[in-house]
């Protein structure tokens, strides 16, 4: 009897802290960069919240979101499209924080890029488009918006999804694709290859930290949120992902995406 009680107490104590929190970064970059970039953040959270974290790498967006719904992932960092996609079928997904961009803002844009010897304008695009993963905001969604604005139909041009934004832009640099649609901040990393931006999308809500409120209790969520909102300048210097800081996040911030609902991939 006593052992059963003890076991129950332990379970309660354990469950109140959620066990090891599974953190899955969105696969926008090469694996080592992605994981390497998130590790400092994980360390910071472990230190501040006294909770245990584990990075889970899932290469495919869809699989990642599925895993999230199943409860195999507790936190992801994702753009607005994956978030809304998730939320539409899983109400327990909650965006708690934005990750600020380099300019300090809580929004970012996507760009249509081409190599130096690529088309001079969208109108000249003939070939397929290199895109990151299907659910990426800078993927089909933004590319569709940008191409449509110049009368181009992405479905007619064709497109290919790559695992990461980097792979998509590198395919363009290599000349395998005329254009690609990727996050502007990532495109900037390739300025040294003399890429050209053909068009820039509206500002979308920044990447947010999305928690699984089914698997994480409010106490844990609150601790995570508080610790990230209270990060100091010195502590930010140690981070890679999140190095520009964090900001509060509300559902209204995602309204802009909803306006472009029709451009989403079917």
Partner 1 sequence: MKSIKPSKHVIKYIVISLLLFSVLLGIGIAFLNHLCEKSVESNLEKATKITRAMWNTTTVANFETMQAYYKYYIMDDKVLEFLKMANSMDEESQKIARLKLFRYLWDKYSYLRENLHIRQLHFILPDNRSFLRFHPPSKYGDDLGSYRPSIMEVNRKRKPYIGFEIGRLVSGYRYIFPIFDREGNYLGCVELSRGFETIRKNLNEVDKEAGYIIFLRKSEIDKKIMKEYRDFYVNINGLDGWVVEDPYIKLPDYTKPLPPEYDKVLKSAIKSEEFREMMDSKESYSIALEYMSKYYKITGLKIFEPGKEYHSAVLIAVYPAPDIMLSKVSFNNYKFIYIVMVGIISIYTFLYLLKVYSIRLKNKEIEAITSSMGIGLLVLNSNGVVKYVNRAALDLLGYSEREILGSSLHSLIHSHAGPEEGCPILKAVKFQSVYCADNKFKRKDSSYIDVSVDVRPIVLEGNNVGSIVVFSDISQRKEIENKLFDMATKDSLTGLCNRRFQVEAIKKSKERADRYGIPFSVLMIDIDNFKSINDRFGHNTGDKVLIGVSNVISQSVRSADTLSRWGGEEFLVLLVNTDIEGAVVLAERIRKKVAKLKIEGIPQVTVSIGVAQYIPGESIDNLISRVDNGLYDAKRSGKNRVVRVDI
Is 131 within 8 Å of 124 (Cβ atoms)? no
Task: Indicate which single residue of 2, 4, 88, 191 sits in contact with partner 1 (rule: CB under 8 A).
Answer: 191
Kindly state the tokens that stand for 167: 């792979």
Is residue 60 a contact residue for partner 1 (CB under 8 A)? no
- In three-state secondary structure terms, 255 is helix
Task: Indicate which single residue of 166, 201, 205, 215 sits in contact with partner 1 (rule: CB under 8 A).
Answer: 166
Rg (C-alpha) for the chain, rounded Å, is: 20
Rounded Cα–Cα distance for residues 185 and 243 (Å): 14
Task: Indicate which single residue of 16, 50, 175, 229 sits in contact with partner 1 (rule: CB under 8 A).
Answer: 175
Is residue 252 a contact residue for partner 1 (CB under 8 A)? no
Is 66 within 8 Å of 134 (Cβ atoms)? no
Binding-residue pattern over the window 203 to 242 for partner 1, x denoting contact by CB under 8 A: -----------------------------------x-x--
Q: Within 10 Å of residue 151's Cβ, how many Cβ atoms?
A: 8
Kindly state the tokens that stand for 229: 């909102």
Task: Indicate which single residue of 10, 31, 47, 105 sits in contact with partner 1 (rule: CB under 8 A).
Answer: 31
Output 106 or 164, the one with its CB closest to partner 1: 164
Stretches 82-90, 96-104, 153-161, 172-180: which one binds partner 1 (CB under 8 A)? 172-180
* Kind and range of the H or E run holding 10: helix 2-16
Rounded Cα–Cα distance for residues 209 and 86 (Å): 13
Least CB distance to partner 1 at residue 84 (A):
28
Task: Indicate which single residue of 2, 12, 156, 192 sits in contact with partner 1 (rule: CB under 8 A).
Answer: 192
Least CB distance to partner 1 at residue 222 (A):
26
Query: Count residues contacting partner 1 (CB under 8 A)?
Result: 28
Residue 13: C-alpha distances to residues 17, 100, 198 (Å):
7, 34, 55
Is residue 127 a contact residue for partner 1 (CB under 8 A)? no
Binding-residue pattern over the window 66 to 105 for partner 1, x denoting contact by CB under 8 A: ----------------------------------------
Least CB distance to partner 1 at residue 114 (A):
12
Task: Indicate which single residue of 23, 108, 190, 207 sits in contact with partner 1 (rule: CB under 8 A).
Answer: 190
Rounded Cα–Cα distance for residues 120 and 141 (Å): 22
Kindly state the tokens that stand for 61: 């967006």
Is 31 within 8 Å of 164 (Cβ atoms)? no
Task: Indicate which single residue of 46, 52, 189, 235 sits in contact with partner 1 (rule: CB under 8 A).
Answer: 189
Kindly state the tokens that stand for 238: 């140690």
Rounded Cα–Cα distance for residues 123 and 158 (Å): 15
Is 94 within 8 Å of 215 (Cβ atoms)? no
The binding site for partner 1 (CB under 8 A) comprises: 30-33, 35-37, 39-40, 43, 55, 57, 115-116, 166, 170, 173-175, 186, 189-194, 238, 240
């Amino acid at each position: 009897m006593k052992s059963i009680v003890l076991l129950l107490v332990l379970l309660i104590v354990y469950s109140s802290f959620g066990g090891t929190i599974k953190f899955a970064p969105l696969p926008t970059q090469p694996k080592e960069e992605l994981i390497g970039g998130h590790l400092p953040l994980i360390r910071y959270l472990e230190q501040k919240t006294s909770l245990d974290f584990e990075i889970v790498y899932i290469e495919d967006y869809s699989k990642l979101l599925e895993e999230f719904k199943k409860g195999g992932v507790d936190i992801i960092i994702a753009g607005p499209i994956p978030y809304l996609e998730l939320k539409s079928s899983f109400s327990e997904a909650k965006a708690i924080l934005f990750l600020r961009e380099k300019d300090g803002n809580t929004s970012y844009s996507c760009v249509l890029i081409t190599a130096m010897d690529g088309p001079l304008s969208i109108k000249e695009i003939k070939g397929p488009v290199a895109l990151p993963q299907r659910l990426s905001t800078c993927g089909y969604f933004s590319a569709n918006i940008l191409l449509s604005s110049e009368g181009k139909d992405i479905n007619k041009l064709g497109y290919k999804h790559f695992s990461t934004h980097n792979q998509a832009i590198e395919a363009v640099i290599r000349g395998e694709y005329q254009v690609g649609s990727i996050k502007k901040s990532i495109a900037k990393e390739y300025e040294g290859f003399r890429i050209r931006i053909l068009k820039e999308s509206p500002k979308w809500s920044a990447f947010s930290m999305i928690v699984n409120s089914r698997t994480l209790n409010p106490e844990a969520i609150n601790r995570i949120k508080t610790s990230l909102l209270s990060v100091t300048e010195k502590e930010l210097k140690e981070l890679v992902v999140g190095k520009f800081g964090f900001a509060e996040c509300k559902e209204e911030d995602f309204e802009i995406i909803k306006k472009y609902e029709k451009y989403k991939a079917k």
